[in-house]
Amino acid sequence: MENKKILFADDDPEIREALRLLLQCEGYETEEASCGEELLSKLDHSVDLVILDVMMPEMNGYAVCSEIRKRYTVPVLFLTAKSQDSDKTMGFSVGGDDYLVKPFSYNELMNRVKAILRRYYVYGAKTAEPSCKIYCCGNIEIDTSRCQVTAGGEEVILTDIEYRILLLLASHQKRIYSTQSIYEIIWNEPYTYSSNNTVMVHIRNIRRKLGDDPQNCHTIRTVWGKGYRIE
């Protein structure tokens, strides 16, 4: 994944320097910001990954991510010293794709960065399906040639992870996917206890974005004790 552009923000200059050196040594193009407002001013469609410190003054990482999601589907990796499940849930609920707790090792950071970019380009929003296919589920339509989702004729902006969860369910309608199956297929990582909440947050976000119409927001059905399906 060399030559991809990574934009990151942290109010600690030493952490910014460390991130810049680590990422550039792996061949990534980098741009940095000392606060959330500066990062937003530098963000455009050329950026392939955003790395955000959570605890920044004035505008924290969660608020920045919420602003990013109004215009972009670029993946977001949170860096934070806060490791509670509630903090991770907050990160996912505002549109974050992954969460790395400080202090972290060089290998751990690089593995997360490469995994996110691999998901984004191999499976995600920046890569079209090998053949054009349109899936229809009620008022929802998924155009895989453009990785575009519409609900009632209106475009719905989903993150990479949200899009792939919806596409997985839509391409196998009425098949029940357990939380573990969804996590292991979408994240391509072993399932752990905390993964259950991660999937639930993303499902909730998808339902919210699809709208308040029961034909939309309840298209993803919860099959209690088994998992999720779309119909």
More confident residue, 50 or 221: 50
Mean pLDDT of 180-203: 87
pLDDT in tens, 118-163: 877 765 555 434 445 788 888 888 887 777 888 888 888 888 888 8
Model-level pTM?
0.65
Q: Which two tokens stand for residue 231?
A: 């119909």
**In the chain, what are the domains?**
5-123 (3.40.50.2300), 134-230 (1.10.10.10)
- Provide CB contacts within 8 A for 51, sequence distance 6+: 6, 7, 8, 9, 19, 76, 77, 79, 113
The predicted pLDDT at position 218 comes to 55
Helix/strand/coil for 211 = coil
If residue 204 lies in a helix (H) or strand (E), which one and from where to where? helix 195-210
